[in-house]
Amino acid sequence: MSLANQVQKYQLVQIESSTPEGLVVLAYDALLKFLYAGKANIAEKNIEESHVALKKAQLLIWELINALKTDAWEGATDLLRLYQYLLSEIATANVQKNADPLERVIPMVRQLRDAWSNAYKQVQAQKKPSISVNTRG
């Protein structure tokens, strides 16, 4: 089995075994990967590769939008607006083949990813049963 196939198999297992919170973190990781690829390909004048990467980034944001429950919490509508802004900036970068909008978007996505990662870790810590040691004999 080739290394690429092994990596693909590992990623599939990781996705299939993740919680919803973990999937959001994985989505942000992939989103950052595609944003950086789009930025690099724009710099290298690889038009087709930049287009493919940025379209994948947009699809991931649409997945995040579709998963967002705007009636579940107060900040959800603000997050939806942020996602819409990200979509607009990525589309602008893609159409104009200009990385400047990506320079604005990447730090925002990084902050969102870190926030979700921290929340995921807190949820996981709360799920772990506490182990107590009985020292009485």
| Both structure tokens of 66 | 């579709």
- Total-model pTM: 0.80
Q: Encode pLDDT of 75-113 as tens digits.
A: 899 999 999 999 999 999 999 999 999 999 999 999 999
Residue 129 per-residue DSSP state: P
pLDDT of residue 3: 64
| Alpha-carbon distances, residue 17 vs 12, 61, 69, 79, 124 (angstroms) | 9, 21, 22, 26, 14
Alpha-carbon gap, residue 53 to 17, rounded angstroms: 26
Q: Encode pLDDT of 55-82 as tens digits.
A: 999 999 999 999 998 888 888 999 999 9
